[in-house]
Amino acid sequence: MNFISTHLLSTILFFPMLSAVVMMFLPKDENKLFRWFALVASLVPFALTLVAWFQFKSSQPGFQFEETYIWYQAIGSSLHLGVDGLSLTMVLLTTFLTPLAILASFSISDRVKPYMMLFLFLETGMLGVFMALDLLIFFVFWEVGLVPMYFLINQWGSANKDYASLKFMIYTMGGSLGLLLAIQMIGVLFGTYDLLTVYQRWNSLEPGSILLGMSVHTVKSIAFWAFAIAFAIKVPIWPFHTWLPDAHTEAPTAGSMLLAGVLLKLGAYGFLRLVLPLYPVEAKMFAGALALLATAAIVFGAFGSFGQTDFKRLVAYSSVNHMGFVVLGIAAAAYSIGTQDATIALNGAILQMFNHGLSAAGMFFLVGVIYERTHTRNLEEFGGLFPLVPVYGGILIFTSMASLGLPGLNGFVSEFLVVRGAFPVLIVYTVISMLGLLFTGAYILKGIKKVLHGPMNEHWAHGEHKLTEINFREIMVMVPLMALILWIGIYPAWILDVINKAVVMLF
Amino acid sequence: MNFPVLSVITFTPMVAALIILMLPAQRKNEARGVALAAATFALILSFWVYLTYDQAAAGYQFIEKYSWLPALGISLHFGVDGISAPLVLLTGVVMFTGVLISWGDDDKHVMAGIQDRPREFFAFLFLLAGGVFGVFVSLDLFMLFFFYEIAVFPMYLLIAIWGWIQTREYAAMKLTLYLFIGSVVSLVGVLAMYWLQYKNTGVLSFDMILMENAGFSQTFQNIWFLPVFLGFAVLGGIWPFHNWSPDGHVAAPTAVSMFHAGVLMKLGAFAALRVGIMLLPQGAHTWSWLIMLFAGVAVVYGAYIAFVQEDMKYMIGFSSVSHMGLVMLGMSTLNRNGIMGAGIQMFSHGVMTALFFAITGMIYDRSHTRQIPELGGMSKIMPFATIGFIIGGLVSMGMPFFSGFVAEFPIFMGVWEVQWLVAVIASISIVITAAYIMRNIRQVFFGAMPEKLEGHITDVTVLDKVAITTLCLFMIVIGLFPSFMVPLIETGVENVLRLLGGS
Amino acid sequence: MTAFYTMRQITLTFLGEPRTKEAEHAQETPWTMTTPLVILSFFAMTYGWVGIPEDFMGLHLRPSWFHEFVGSTLAEHPEALAFNWIPLLTSLVVALGGLFVGWLVYRNINSPSEDKLQIGFLKNKYYFDEIYDYIFVKPAIWFSEVLVSQWMDKGFIDGILHIFGPATQGLGAFIRNKFDLPVINRFFGDGSADVTYWFGGKLRAVQTGRIQQYLMFALVIFIAVGAALYFFLLA
């Protein structure tokens, strides 16, 4: 027990990976064993995260549960872990969603063992990014997370999986090339990758001095863009978003849940943890551009979503749309750092990260539910299914409303905070993004309408294609999501408080 | 050290070669058995050397010195430092896995491994291995050269006799001549150093430790650094002298390719470091920009060409050009990070490329084609090999938590300290590599198996799996725990820096 | 107008002869529907009376309940308005008149074709929905389905991305086919072999087989090398 309490973060971090290694030695063809093993293995980090959550002192500045281990001493990198309010929220999201994703994957029967192992490896990869307090460790986990996701899409995906998986991987790797180079440069400059040290020394660099043959300002600008582009591709920010519809659509259901639920947040987290603190001046300078792109993401994401006939692709574009709000909040904060508007915007952005994780995961899962039964995602082939699957319909409407930002559910709280924070600072962009918000409603309702309402498509009503209702396991996947969605919508203080204190202390 | 472990390691393969040659030709399994025993023995010893090297004391250890021709200053002088100890281990590993891969099976109708005259094959292969060990542990220039040549000429026989029938003679001749010319060029430089040393001190000696402190003049070094470095670096596959390598790979049998890319190319880079940089440090300072240029080109050039190859061995061959380019890029930085990274990369790439060639050989033996468009769906029949290839691929891309990243990262850091533009351009190769590796993995191992191959492919043997596991373990362990190898290499790098900085 | 169309509705629905079979068989609504209707109609009829002024039709009644109720909540209790015959008479005439006209017009109409008020413009709600569709909905759909999804995302942005693959392929092939193979492989590599071959062929002429010539060469070389070594070593 004492070991766990002193090594809380590393236990949470490595438990999934170690479980995956153990899984390697389990006997073959025991699919049920694999599923339940993986599920339990993913619930343990969740339980530990709850422990961390309740032990976390939100008023205490700095990082908590810090651990440092020797890793690559020769170049000045150590396994330095720690969380603050921002990262703990993300860790909670990750450890919360992974068991649900695994539970959602119980219906997979093709090569269950490697599938589950990949999910566990993926979980470690995602958690590592959020917990990293060392730039090299951050990068390491950032890249490592790509590999399981590539294989999940490539091996268990749908028709266009080869294209989508390679696009996803190479695009993200190409983007993180700049990140790699910039991190190398920082390591060379300071002889260490420890984030806290880098924060200090980076910001105390004399403005006039020369680094590597260039002025500090040039170095910082280039490094800023290197970091920004890498994260921009991940979030994704328009126009670097086109990998997302393909990857999300082709990935297996649970893969999409984690892709949209967590992986996108890695990019936004990078902005908050690295870009804003390290480059406040450059961020402010380019905040307008960032806001423009965020607005484009909101508007074009909404229009793109509205124009889809594939249900999953519609939800995929909705991720572009919702993450646009996150970036809008970040841009507003970058522009007006230190003011109350910035704090509000950041609160909204971070909460939106969490909320979108929940609602997007839910939406993708529900699409998966209907896909498993009908083997089509084409909206035109559905119609009037509400009487056939009323429980499913109800859950779908609930989750859709969360995605839409209905007051009373979580989406509204975060979107409102973002808009409220951005409005005084970036009024034009905020106003334009309202157009996007209008079409958010449009595409959500389009989805609901095409699937549930209208004349019933008789094809699904009788015989072998008769639609079966959502089953107990599937409901169990949705219930925790819906509960959190409702709770945050009605009483967000429990999470907003943690986020707010972290934001106020950081910026 | 009382037990002459280094000479035992060096001469075991040669002795084994002799024993194998004395066996009757029909006794194939005995030949293989002796080979495996010798390889295992050498591996254990090299592991022991690796683990018991005293990192605190640093410097050359396990030293042995036997006079051979005192009149000319030639002695059998052995020793390892932090950089050569991992390479000795690497040779042991590649030798061990190479024997496992070449284990032919006379009964099965599947042509796997070496079935035609395994006796001669292993004899020549072990002669080569002995030469390789000798180069890594030599602290006498003459002996280094001696073993260097022993390591090169068996390649001709191995490729010409057991290689791919279509190009083996051309490739064998090209490879051997190319490497010999390279070694002759550096020999001239070595002789020049020998004479100058004699002129300065009046003592005829090839001893390298002596030469480290010889203090050759700046002009001398400026003239002779390039011939010496480039002559050896030809074996390292430096651009533009790299072309023997891809052709050699394609023609060579599997185990020979494993040796070629896994160990032989490291020989070249290592000798270039040992003789070129360490003995002519001022020359190195003068010419490092050129080496960096060549190496930088190699990194990107190799990756782009590998991208368009349809023959798996050509792809891996050019990928090796690219990765060895990284080694020499690291060396050209002449700083701690770069050279350290080069040292790690030599080991990491050696293991990785041995794995690649091993699996390619397994596929070729069963499908009789190396053309990627003609392959597919291998994962269903040989899942173990698939995972091995994927791991090798991830190392090749420099994916973190594998040894490739541990190696490439400090190299780039070292380059940043010298010329940031080179670092930026060289990093393009990372994405290119990722692209063609992932693409080719998917094409060869996943997807549908072509009809022609249906029913003809069998899974890899137990020995193959042992080889794959051994190689993968190294790459994963170093990737997760760099402290298993990096501090050791660092001690060797300290010595190099001392020589570079002091001058 | 309200009275007119109300009466039109009542006349067409409830008065006259049934026009369809369903109408013939129409039954009284169940009590679950009728009871609320009764309650509602009671209040519909009577509730208005809470607002009659105190001096309605010259009578002396209680002060208007509604006025007192709302007025007492206001900051300033306004004065009650006095009763006036004109609004009462006007609304009675209009309402009863409208009802009468509606009954008059529709009491004999049995089908829509006889109804002269079936004007297309009115019937189609002034075409508002169609206008909305034209101005807002169709452009939005076009914008989403064509412009954003196809032209911009798939066409333009992905188009740029799709250049990278073939570009890399092209560059790699170029390097290989235009430089690596012809220059390094053939020109230098095989070329040097050709040169050596040629050279060897020419040198073969030296192999005359005549001892005297060999001895001559040996002597010349010996002198040359010896001189070189002499100067090299002793200089």
Task: Pick the residue of B188, B250, B307 with the most C CBs within 10 A to test the interface with C by mutation.
Answer: B307
Average pLDDT, chain B: 89
| Nearest residue on chain A to B446, alpha-carbon basis | A155
Q: How far is B445 from chain A (nearest CA, A)?
A: 11
Q: CA dist B198 to B73, B203, B207, B209, C123, Å?
A: 10, 5, 12, 15, 115
The answer to whether A9 and A65 are in contact (CB under 8 A) is yes
Confidence band for B127, pLDDT divided at 50, 70 and 90: very high
Q: How far is C177 from chain B (nearest CA, A)?
A: 9
Name the least confident of A272-281, B114-123, B316-325, B374-383: B114-123
Look at A188 and B417 and tell me if their CB atoms are within 8 Å. Answer: yes
The subunits that touch chain B, with at least 3 C-beta pairs less than 8 Å apart, are: A, C
Q: How far is C157 from chain A (nearest CA, A)?
A: 7
Look at B430 and A170 and tell me if their CB atoms are within 8 Å. Answer: no
Looking at residue C235, its pLDDT comes to 65
Looking at residue B111, its pLDDT comes to 53
Looking at residue B307, its pLDDT comes to 92
Chain A within 8 Å of B406 (Cβ-Cβ)? Answer: yes
For residue B279, the SS3 value is coil
What mean pLDDT is predicted for residues C143-150? 85
Residue C123 has pLDDT above 80, yes or no: no
Average pLDDT, chain C: 84
Beta strands in C67-147 (DSSP E): none
Residue C23 has pLDDT above 90, yes or no: no
Q: Which residue has the tokens 């008479």?
A: C89
Q: Alpha-carbon distance B16 to B37, whole Å?
A: 9
CA-based nearest residue to A115, from A74, A144, A151? A151
CB < 8 Å from B in window 62-81 of A = 70-75
Over the stretch A207-247, which tens digit does the pLDDT of each residue have?
766 666 777 888 888 889 899 999 999 999 988 999 999 99
Over the stretch B196-253, which tens digit does the pLDDT of each residue have?
888 888 777 788 887 887 778 888 888 889 999 999 999 988 888 888 888 888 899 8
Q: Alpha-carbon distance A331 to A497, whole Å?
A: 22
Q: Which residue has the tokens 């073959």?
A: A28
For residue B54, the SS3 value is coil
Chain A positions touching C161 (Cβ under 8 A) are: 167, 171, 242
Over the stretch C152-187, which tens digit does the pLDDT of each residue have?
888 888 888 888 888 988 998 888 888 888 887 788
Looking at residue A299, its pLDDT comes to 92
Q: How far is A170 from chain B (nearest CA, A)?
A: 6
What mean pLDDT is predicted for residues B119-126? 88
Interface of chain C against chain A, CB under 8 Å? Answer: 140-141, 143-149, 152-154, 157-158, 161
Q: What is the DSSP string of A97-108?
A: HHHHHHHHGGG-
From the DSSP assignment, how many helices (H) and strands (E) are in chain A? 23, 4
Confidence band for B107, pLDDT divided at 50, 70 and 90: low
The answer to whether A443 and A315 are in contact (CB under 8 A) is no
Look at C175 and B301 and tell me if their CB atoms are within 8 Å. Answer: yes
Query: What percentage of residues in chain B have a pLDDT greater than 70?
Result: 97
Sorted by sequence, the CB contacts under 8 Å of residue B484 that are 6+ apart come out as B477, B478
Look at A242 and C141 and tell me if their CB atoms are within 8 Å. Answer: no
| Residue of C168, C171, C188 lying closest to B435 (CB–CB) | C168
Q: CA dist B206 to A283, A296, B147, B197, C203, Å?
A: 61, 71, 14, 9, 35
- B239-B240-B245-B250 Cα dihedral, nearest 10 degrees: 110
Over the stretch A295-317, which tens digit does the pLDDT of each residue have?
999 999 999 999 899 999 999 99
Chain A positions touching B486 (Cβ under 8 A) are: 72-74
Looking at residue B503, its pLDDT comes to 42
Over the stretch B26-70, which tens digit does the pLDDT of each residue have?
777 888 888 899 999 999 999 999 999 888 887 888 888 888 888
Chain A within 8 Å of B420 (Cβ-Cβ)? Answer: yes
Q: What is the DSSP string of B56-69?
A: TT-SSEEEEEEEEE
Task: Pick the residue of A14, A124, A180 with the most B CBs within 10 A to test the interface with B by mutation.
Answer: A180
Confidence band for B445, pLDDT divided at 50, 70 and 90: very high
Chain B within 8 Å of A136 (Cβ-Cβ)? Answer: yes
Chain B positions touching C167 (Cβ under 8 A) are: none
- Complex prediction ipTM: 0.89
Enumerate the β-bridge partners of residue A182.
none
Q: How far is B41 from chain C (nearest CA, A)?
A: 40
Name the least confident of B113-117, B376-380, C181-185: B113-117
Rg (CA), chain A: 22
DSSP C51: G
Look at A307 and C141 and tell me if their CB atoms are within 8 Å. Answer: yes
Chain B positions touching A74 (Cβ under 8 A) are: 340, 410, 482, 486-487, 490
Distance, CA of C112 to chain centre: 39
| Nearest residue on chain B to C171, alpha-carbon basis | B304
Look at A305 and C144 and tell me if their CB atoms are within 8 Å. Answer: yes
> Which residues of chain A fall below pLDDT 50?
none
CB crowding C203-231: b at 16 or more within 10 Å, else e: eeeeeeeeeeeeeeeeeeeeeeeeeeeee
Q: pTM of the full predicted structure?
A: 0.88
CA-based nearest residue to B409, from A223, A266, A135? A135
Look at C189 and B243 and tell me if their CB atoms are within 8 Å. Answer: yes
Q: How far is B242 from chain C (nearest CA, A)?
A: 9
| Residue of C172, C188, C189 lying closest to B304 (CB–CB) | C172
Looking at residue C61, its pLDDT comes to 76
Look at B305 and C172 and tell me if their CB atoms are within 8 Å. Answer: yes
Look at C168 and B304 and tell me if their CB atoms are within 8 Å. Answer: yes
Chain A within 8 Å of B423 (Cβ-Cβ)? Answer: yes
Looking at residue B389, its pLDDT comes to 95
Query: What percentage of residues in chain C have a pLDDT greater than 70?
Result: 100
Look at C175 and B432 and tell me if their CB atoms are within 8 Å. Answer: no
